[in-house]
Structure 1
Amino acid sequence: MSETAGVREVKSAARTVELLELLAARGDRPARLQELADELVVPRSSMYALLQTLITRGWVRTDTTGSLYGVGIRTLLTGTSYLDSDPRVRLVRPYLDEASEALGETIHLGRLDGPDVAYLATRESHEYLRTINRVGRRLPAHAGALGKALLAERPAEDLPEGPYEPLTPNSRTTRESLTADLAEIRARGYAIDREEAVLGIIGFGFALRYDTPPQDAISCSVAVTRLTPDHEAEIVTVMREIRARIESATAPGGTANWR
């Protein structure tokens, strides 16, 4: 049994969390009992009992046959509470609105979570934009503008060894290529994702330096077909200004220092 800060992990709680994370990672693909038991190496009877407990409390749902399982509505309510209670998210939201109004493009706020970026807020483009990034979704940090902006703020030795998962033919899959890209980001002051996460979409990411190292970043996503040199310059100018205003508006102290 593992320990955290000298406290022994509660096995039943850990198993519950692992189950919910597994179901969440499957997205729109519900799971069967045996799949879950096999994946988590848990006896079928124990997994069934755990599922029934979570169904009763709304954390897991099942279909009319009782054979398929997915996350329940309580996960949504808890996730919404996280966003509503987070002071950084509350502070940044109005600035996302301003950037969206000024640029007419999709604006994101994301937070580094292990090897991924979790999307915390999104303002949609005035044009239809086929992105996969919605609130609550995750994207490997190496592939998108948000993640690369945050990785560039960290020592090179903190990068995972790789190889990295390619999301498109343009994704960087080796530690060497990502390290070189991050060096350019540091020199430039912001990240660029040229169809590395989604084909047809270019992203510009800006780390928010109100934490050290930064945990959050904002980005602007635009369709390749609409990105002219003048529009790119406008995006960079507006997003730099928005970043500076967010960082200036962040008062030190006064809120819980979450880890």
Structure 2
Amino acid sequence: MAERQTADGTVGKALEVLDMVASFERPVRFSEVLEGSPYPKGTLYRLFQTLTNQGMLSFDPDRQTYGLGVRLVRLAHAAWQQSSLAPIARSYVDALSETTGETVHLAQLDNAQVLYLDKRNALKPIEMYSQAGKVGPAYCTGVGKSMLAFLAEDEVARVISQQSFHRFTEHTLTSEAELRADLADIRAKGFGMDREEHEPGIICIAVPILTPRGRVLGGLSVTSTTAQKSLADLAALAPQVQATANSIAVEAQNWRFPDQATDTTRTGT
């Protein structure tokens, strides 16, 4: 097997290995990762050894399996505290879920995907894919589209170019043209919707969390099911969701995510 080239060198390869191990969502044997790895056995083994020595992977000698290491837990906690909206937004997410009685999601964009930072279940919890720490597609989730709609055009183009446009349901947007039309509608209305685009029966209303200069900090959504609510019911919550997003943005602006003078004006602001 020819060794894959990466512009980020050994560090980039090591991070890819961590992603591969994490993707199994369970302890994994070296041979399982090797089967789907782009790297030769020797290179992959050296990366495993380095990551284990550094505490980024843990090794169970009895089961001969690898898992994510506790050092990653410490780093993840630090990232959550320093770079995430979650600590700032917690009380607002709590209040919005309590007053609406619905499931509330807080998210940020992670490259071309949606990273769910926090979630509060409805009074009657519903089964769905999203959980804090999981990533989802940007093109077919309400919170993803609401953030994407307010990015600068070059960022919009970059993110769209990385979307798979896989059809999850009969309502999924499956082309750039469809997505861009929806983004234009979101900019006009100020909020987006998931019309059963990612999961059957799951609908939501979502808004971006924007700084005064229009920089996208994250997104906020209220989610329900077609058995419990209609899209019109959720749309009626738009002012309340937007007010919550604005409150989060003000606190984030004051304490952790100030606008810089070099920021450029975003599309739709």
What is the TM-score when the length of structure 1 is the normalising length?
Answer: 0.83
* Equivalent-residue separation in structure 2 for 1:139 and 1:61 (angstroms): 27
- Identify unmatched segments of 5+ residues in structure 1: 4-8
The reply to whether residue 123 of structure 1 matches residue 120 of structure 2 is yes
The separation in 2 between residues aligned to 1:253 and 1:96, in whole angstroms, is 18
Choose the corresponding residue for 2:148, options 151, 157, 163: 151
**C-alpha contact (below 8 Å) 1:61/1:70 kept by paired residues:** yes
Q: Which amino acid aligns with 2:226?
A: V
Equivalent position to 2:39, from 26, 31, 42: 42
Rounded to whole Å, the distance in 2 between the matches of 1:118 and 1:189 is 21
What code does the residue aligned with 1:16 have? A
What secondary structure does 1:226 align onto? coil
Q: Is the CA contact 1:206–1:217 (under 8 Å) kept in the aligned structure 2?
A: yes
Give 1:63 deviation, angstroms.
5.2
Q: Does 2:91 align with 1:94? A: yes
Cα distance in 1 for partners of 2:229, 2:188 equals 22
Structure 2 match to 1:214:
216
Using a 3 Å threshold, how does the CA distance of structure 1 residues 21 and 254 change in structure 2: closer, same or farther? Answer: closer
Equivalent residues of 1:206, 1:243 under 8 A apart: yes
Task: Give how far 1:209 is off.
Answer: 0.8
Shift of 1:135: 1.3
Q: Which residue of 2 aligns with 1:21?
A: 19
Instruction: Assess, with a 3 A threshold, how the Cα gap between structure 1 residues 216 and 254 changes in structure 2: closer, same or farther.
Output: closer
Superposition map of 1:106-121 within 5 A? 106-121=103-118
Indicate the residue corresponding to 2:76 in structure 1.
79
Offset of residue 66 of structure 1:
4.3
The equivalent residue for 1:247 is: 249
**How far is the alpha carbon of 1:207 from its aligned partner?**
0.4
The change in CA–CA distance for 1:246 and 1:41 in structure 2 (over 3 A counts) is: closer
Give the direction of change, closer, same or farther, for the CA distance of 1:41–1:246 in structure 2 (3 Å limit).
closer
Summarize the alignment of residues 93-242 of structure 1 with structure 2, pairs less than 5 Å apart: 93-154=90-151, 155=153, 157-158=157-158, 159-160=160-161, 164-210=165-211, 212-228=214-230, 231-242=233-244
Residue of structure 1 equivalent to 2:266: none
Cα distance in 1, alignment partners of residues 117 and 64 from structure 2? 32
Counterparts in 2 of 1:230 and 1:176: CA distance versus 1, 3 Å: closer
Sort the Cα spacing of 1:64 and 1:225 in 2 relative to 1 into closer, same or farther, 3 A.
farther
Paired-residue identity, %? 25
The aligned counterpart of 2:263 is none
**What amino acid is the match of 2:21?**
L
Residue 194 of structure 1 and its aligned partner are, at CA, apart by: 1.1
| 1:98 counterpart letter in structure 2 | A
Aligned amino acid, residue 130 of structure 2 = N
Amino acid at match of 1:70: G
Q: Which moved more, 1:124-133 or 1:58-67?
A: 58-67
Alpha-carbon separation, structure 2, partners of 1:65 and 1:168: 43
The answer to whether the 8 Å contact 2:222/2:234 transfers is: no
Alpha-carbon distance, 1:86 to partner = 3.2
Greater CA drift, 48-57 or 192-201:
48-57
RMSD: 2.8
Compare 163-172 and 188-197 and name the one that shifted more. 163-172
Structure 1 range deviating more: 58-67 or 77-86? 58-67
Aligned residues: 251
